Chain A
Amino acid sequence: MDTVITLTLNGEMVSARADQTLLDIIREQKISLPTLCHMDGLSERGGCRLCAVEVQGAPRPMAACVTPVSEGMVVRTHTPELEAYRRMVLELLLAERNHICAICVTNGHCELQWAAAQAGVTSVRYAYLHPDLPMDASHGRFVLDHNRCILCTRCVRVCDEVEGAHTWDLAGRGIQARVITDLSRPWGASPSCTSCGKCVQVCPTGALFAKGATVAEMTKEHDFVSWIIRGRTKREWVW
């Protein structure tokens, strides 16, 4: 039987299983917390830092998605400092590459856009880097636009953990990091890609999209990841 622990979340005593993360229990308590790299059914990365929360005694905000619960923890999710920190993270994401919502295939359906709107980002205080980044349109059905990629690695994880092809990877470090296919060969020349499209569906922005899509036409469906995982582990298929 799972061990049950007790922690304090936003002033309320709550119970959790010892194998849960802070994000699990925050979601269970119906507290709204923004995330971008997290996706139900995939392993956690803790890369976007949007879900960072304040844990009493910890020297810095902790990413809730990769922080396990522990007995007696005192956690706060929405302090003014955390809100300011989340806005800063979003502004840095927007300034780092070329996010032009008005002409984006996912305008209106973009998780980065939603998160920024929800956090009250009305302008970006940092200088835009305007990097000169290419598009890879060599695949027959899909397109990769590095200008809109936030390096959440959902594509990398879904391809590895769900499809099993491991076509995607990260190359480079820091601001030079890029998602790549098969050791950085053009996507269309990738021998491992099965063209299943899972990466496109889980991408939170317009970085991966269906070829031929025009402004705001690209909507994405994520639920399939949980369906597949459930079917695979519990032999239950509930659509």
Chain B
Amino acid sequence: MTNTIVIDPVTRIEGHAKITLHLDDDGHVADARFHVTEFRGFEKFCEGRMFWEMPSITARICGICPVSHLMASAKAGDTILGVRIPTAAEKLRRLMNWGQIVQSHALSFFHLSGPDLVLGMESEPAQRNVAGLIALNPDFARDGIRLRQFGQDVIRLLGGKSIHPAWTVPGGVREPLTIEKRDEMLRRLPEAFEIVERALKLYKNEVVAKHRREYDVYGNFPSLFIGLVSQQGGLEHYDGLLRVMDSDGMILEPGLAPKRFREIIAEAVEPWTYLKVPYYKPYGYEGQAGMYRVGPLARVNLCDFAGTPKAEAELRLLRSGGRVVRQGFAYHYARLIEILFALEKIEETLNAPDITNKHIRSQADVNHLHGVGVSEAPRGTLFHEYWVDENGLLQSVNLIIATGQNNLAMNRTVLQIARAYVTGQKLTEGLLNRIEHGIRLFDPCLSCSTHAAGQMPLAVELYGPDGELLNTLRR
């Protein structure tokens, strides 16, 4: 007789989901599924609107990472207009995107995963949250808040507000950067550097040492990695080429123009989740052969180099055990490296002489009826693809979101953790949290990936072989 365990809802992630664990006759985990239980329909209701509106409409998909949608959508708009945006506009967009990387990664590391990493995976649940974190280690909790504030302020200083700024538009950006705002960001940078360097020290000296087994078990499996790299092969978040690599470090696709993404990525659907399942097309969907990972770990694996001195040093340390890191637990480290990289790039870009240039928006009408915009969101590669009529009205919209691309890998991670820790039909709260942490590694944004609203609660259900519900734990 098989059993199924259900975790419903999953907490400290962005959106709504549940997990089911299916046990075999011997009580071992036979299968595990991560179900996303929300549906939004952006791709459909945007039809008939103008592509100029899309950055602001699609930014409403998410309050955490609206900037990612602003970038991908504006870039899709650029290609419909057929314009090359002014140099200063591109630098300003990159600045905002790095601000987003800093704030989103800070939220994930310090406040969503921080309670597990600092207080312990199976620590007292009443304390295993931000409030408990503040009580035990107030400096760590404050660091997270301050670092996130810096990233949010970069976005606010550029776009007028930190959530849903209507600043990135097809053709460029709407407002130039003033000298006063540039100087304000530069003034705040040293504190941000100090925080991330403290966090890196904590991660390397304490977190990894305390989580040796988790490091070896969580999300440690071979998979493909997909993401953008710069034209030279460096770490990249805004533009560049699509690279595909396997977990042995073999490059399957060195640098594909992002507009040709359909040649390598296809989407499947499953009846048990609203989250679509993208896969690497040449390997197919059968047997999950085309499973790939995106996001911080993928990006640091894919790039030949970081391109900034401090991030480069950390990248080499990450790779000291091998060129490709397949342990999902290293997503945390990759996130910190990317924050460091983003801060270094922000500093470099703010000091560029043309950053306050007033020429920031290219004007044109509809020149192409199809547009693709690709950028790296904190969680991975984000694709916006639009088809318009000759007047710019949207005929069709396709959005491929980072979290969706990690769908197969998240399911595999849940299965792997469940197999390592679940024995028999007895469920403990600590076990639930371990499984949830496997999901948190990916920092999924289900609001985005199902294009849904609210905080993500998690539920685990345990089913028997005949489909009988044996046990449910829910928050």
Contacts and interface: CB of A to CB of B under 8 A. Distances in A.
A214 B391 contact: no
B363 interface: yes
Given A102-B60, A102-B164, A134-B48, A214 B392 contact: no
Interface stretch (A1-9, A69-77, A120-128, A135-143): A135-143
Contacts of B48: 134-135
Interface string A134-166: 110110100100000000000000000000000
A38 to B, nearest CB: 30
A214 B393 contact: no
Contacts of A214: 52-53, 55-56, 166, 169, 174
Contact of B57 (A103, A140, A211): A103
Name the prevailing secondary structure of the B interface residues.
loop
Nearest to B166: A215
A18 interface: no
Contact of B60 (A103, A134, A135, A216): A103
Nearest to B164: A102
A110 B206 CA distance: 55
A103 B56 contact: yes
Interface in A199-215: 211-215
Interface in B362-406: 363, 365, 391-393
A211 B169 contact: no
Interface in A97-145: 102-103, 105, 134-135, 137-138, 140, 143
B135 interface: no
Interface residues of A, number: 17
B363 A215 contact: no
A143 B60 CA distance: 23
Interface in A215-231: 215-217
Contacts of A103: 53, 56-57, 60
B136 interface: no
B50 interface: yes
Contacts of A217: 166, 174
Interface string B236-273: 00000000000000000000000000000000000000
Interface string B11-26: 0000000000000000
A130 B60 CA distance: 19
Contact of A135 (B164, B166, B174, B393): B393
A140 B390 CA distance: 11
A129 to B, nearest CB: 15
A215 B393 contact: no
Interface in B45-65: 48-50, 52-53, 55-57, 60
Contact of B52 (A102, A134, A138, A213): A213
B52 A212 contact: yes
A163 to B, nearest CB: 23
Interface string B135-166: 00000000000000000000000000000101
B392 A137 contact: yes
A215 B392 contact: no
B56 A212 contact: no
Query: Which of A134, A135, A217: most chain B Cβ within 10 A?
Result: A135
Nearest to A139: B391
A140 B392 CA distance: 11
Contacts of A212: 52, 363, 365
B375 to A, nearest CB: 18
Nearest to B53: A103
20 contacts: A102-B60, A102-B164, A103-B53, A103-B57, A135-B48, A135-B50, A137-B50, A137-B391, A137-B392, A137-B393, A140-B365, A143-B50, A188-B391, A211-B392, A212-B363, A214-B55, A215-B53, A215-B56, A215-B166, A217-B166
**Top 4 closest A-B pairs, CB basis?**
A215-B166, A137-B391, A215-B56, A214-B169
